[in-house]
């Protein structure tokens, strides 16, 4: 009887684990599809962005994002960053995303440490979402904080004005 009970318990545990692994694989595939929606090249290192900016004479747009907990960040991604209008402008910018997720499996420990340091340096108020514009020398020239995801029209016109201002300089 003990043996039958042990086999039954092992089968249930194995089955549950298999479902969990399958679910995780399914979520991972969904994330990959989401990332493929956009043709944007987001860097994750500001020093690398500054080097590219100097080489290409382009301003740097840093996007401070809380990808797994900040609902305005999620909506801004859809309403602004994933639009054809933004993609037209993106090749005139060096893009950097500094994510600050709550889940520990989204970023490596070293990337999370680096992101915390960049938040301390550039986003002292810890406001999310936040856009910071740097010139090619790495000096901050502008910032834009927040996004109202409750606005029925999801107005991103001030985001476009912000970006356009620094593209044209």
Q: Tell me the CATH number for domain 38-167.
A: 3.40.30.10
Q: What is the pLDDT along the chain (169 residues), one digit of tens a residue?
A: 555 444 444 443 333 222 122 223 333 332 333 344 567 999 999 999 999 999 999 999 999 999 999 999 999 999 999 999 999 999 999 999 999 999 999 999 999 999 999 999 999 999 999 999 999 899 999 999 988 766 556 689 999 999 999 997 7
Is 102 strand, coil or helix?
coil
- Predicted TM-score of the model (pTM): 0.76
Between strands 94-99 and 60-65, the pairing is: parallel
Where do the structural domains in the chain lie, given as residue ranges?
A: 1-36, 38-167
Sign of CA dihedral 157, 161, 162, 164: positive
Residues with Cβ within 8 Å of 119's Cβ and at least 6 positions away in sequence, in order, are: 64, 98, 100, 126
List strand residue ranges (DSSP E) for 16-139, in order.
Answer: 42-43, 60-65, 94-99, 130-134
Q: What is the pLDDT of residues 135-145, one digit of tens each?
A: 989 999 999 99
């Amino acid at each position: 009887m003990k043996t039958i009970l042990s086999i039954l318990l092992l089968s249930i545990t194995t089955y549950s684990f298999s479902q969990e692994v399958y679910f995780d694989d399914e979520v991972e595939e969904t994330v990959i599809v989401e990332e493929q929606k956009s043709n944007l090249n987001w860097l994750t290192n500001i020093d690398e962005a500054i080097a590219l900016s100097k080489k290409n004479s382009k301003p740097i747009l840093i996007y401070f994002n809380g990808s797994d907990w900040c609902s305005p960040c999620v909506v801004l991604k859809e309403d602004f960053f994933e639009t054809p209008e933004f993609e037209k402008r993106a090749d005139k910018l060096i893009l950097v995303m500094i994510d600050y997720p709550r889940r520990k499996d989204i970023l490596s420990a070293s990337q999370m440490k680096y992101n915390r340091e960049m938040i301390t340096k550039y986003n002292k108020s810890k406001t999310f979402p936040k856009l910071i514009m740097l010139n090619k020398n790495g000096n901050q020239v502008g910032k834009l904080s927040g996004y109202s995801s409750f606005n029925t029209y999801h107005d991103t016109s001030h985001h476009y004005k912000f970006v356009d201002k620094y593209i044209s300089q």
